[in-house]
Amino acid sequence: MAVNEPGLVIIGGSDAGIMAGLWARQINPDLPVTLIVRDRYPNYSICGIPFYISGETPDWQMLAHRTTADLEAAGLQLLLQHDATAIDPAAHRVAVRTPDGTTTDIPYDALVIGTGAAPIRPRLPGSDLPGVHLLHTIDEARTLRSMIDADARQVVIIGAGYIGTEMADALAHRGLAVTIIEMAPAVLTTFDPDLGQIIGDQLTRHGITVATGTTVERIEHADGPGLRVIGTNGLDVLADAVLIAVGVRADALLAHAAGAATDDRGALVVNNMMATNLPDVWAAGDCVHTHHVLYDHPVYLPLGTTAHKQGRVAGINAAGGHARYTGSLGTQAVKILDLVAARTGLRDTEATAAGYDPLSITIAVDDHKAYYPGATTIHVRLTGDRHTGRLLGVQLIGAYGAEVSKRVDIAAAAIHAASTVDALADLDLSYTPPLSSPWDPLQTAAHEWTRHRPVP
């Protein structure tokens, strides 16, 4: 390892770190950029792990957005299997443990922290037993895939959020018996419970056991091989493997130890330039809090799309340019079996907590003209502010192929532009009978919302 001149140093080789490095080089092609990467998998898609587990992506190496050679050709120096252990902001140096166990210091002119998030391991008896997995790295994914390829037949998933439900789909795709357990009354807790129930019912129809309103109390060795998961409501199920997917937390301890400010959730505090309170130090991705378009305070929204955008801003500014992060809406989409669930902005309860006066309506409408074969139902829940008419949020559930994710993107663009619900209905959207209707489902929902809104 040799870092000959300070330049830009980036800690972390996932979405935020890679974006920071690539955009910094675009701003200043002569800038030395060094990435410190804890493992040997720079720029791999953690979001793609469920599809590797399912076998739909047969080779784990296909999850690489870019190869190491691609990144090096773009001018990035990669220090793989190097672990940043301390930051000295006064001396502008990072202490790094090398693969052979020795420690060295790397100088920097500018530093970007992209250390991401760490999976939450609940304080649950038996959560550290062999066969219990926290699926967050390529190595963990390869281990689980090998187990499934060998002789696993039954898997229990604790947590029914995006990763949990995607993994239920992936494992069922492999023919395994799957039980998914969730404390909340419905799966997909970022959606309203009645909409989450639509997804839960679909999982059940495909042979997946769904236990909602249920708390796991312990994991223990079974009498024979495997594990036993025990909880409330009579939960007692055997498994060859248990997957814990109850969320993530910001991995910000390294920066915090150096004096970087964190919020009450432990995420790094940054401004809209992605700058921390430390001189010449920026941060981006799942380790930071996120400025939200509709809130007057930051929130924690660990999303790949957000990490890419924040990394771009951090890299540009660290290289001497000027960029600003304009905020997130928490826009998400997930494919589960043959359904897609997508949301953006605020739900009714979230809007109320944020000080808005929300009105939400729900419709079920065909995704395209019924006379063209294959029309399916899209459930649309639209939330707007009664007083101002501003569009606040949209939740959608529909069939895979019904353009659900693109429709939520229309809503996200409208909310980002501070559009009213009425203005959403005015948009000139495309139409052809196999794809939509003269009034898109979003616009039909907007008309329905206007009919329910009290006259101002």
Identify the CA nearest to 321 among candidates 50, 7, 23. 23
Angle at 352 between CA 246 and CA 384, to 5 degrees: 105
Residue 4's pLDDT is 56
Residue 2's pLDDT is 52
Taking the chain (456 residues) in runs of 10, the rounded mean pLDDT of each run is: 75 96 96 95 90 92 89 95 97 96 96 96 93 89 89 93 96 95 96 97 97 97 91 95 95 98 97 98 98 96 96 98 97 96 97 97 97 97 97 98 96 98 96 95 97 83
Contact 114, 283 (CB under 8 A): yes
Q: For helices 304-318 and 15-27, what crossing angle results, to 10°?
A: 30
Residue 149's pLDDT is 87
- Per the domain annotation, does 213 fall within a domain? yes
Residues 282 and 369 in one domain: no
Q: State the CATH number of the domain containing residue 434.
A: 3.30.390.30
Residues 58 and 139 in one domain: no
Residue 456's pLDDT is 65
Residues 143 and 221 in one domain: yes
Residues 136 and 242 in one domain: yes
Residues 227 and 263 in one domain: no
Identify the CA nearest to 286 among candidates 299, 272, 273, 277. 299
Residues 242 and 161 in one domain: yes
- Per the domain annotation, does 65 fall within a domain? yes
Query: Could you list the residue range(s) of the whole structural domain that residue 202 is in?
Result: 132-246
* Residue at a domain's end among 187, 215, 246: 246
- Per the domain annotation, does 125 fall within a domain? no
Residues 261 and 351 in one domain: no
Burial of 399 (0-12, 13-18, 19+ CB in 10 A): middle
Residue 247's pLDDT is 92
* Residue at a domain's end among 246, 275, 300: 246
Angle at 344 between CA 338 and CA 346, to 5 degrees: 125
* Residue at a domain's end among 286, 318, 350: 318
Residues 54 and 139 in one domain: no
Residues 270 and 228 in one domain: no
Q: State the CATH number of the domain containing residue 39.
A: 3.50.50.60
Residues 283 and 217 in one domain: no
Burial of 280 (0-12, 13-18, 19+ CB in 10 A): middle
Phi, psi of 119 (to 5 degrees): -65, 145
- Alpha carbon distance 316, 92 (integer Å): 19
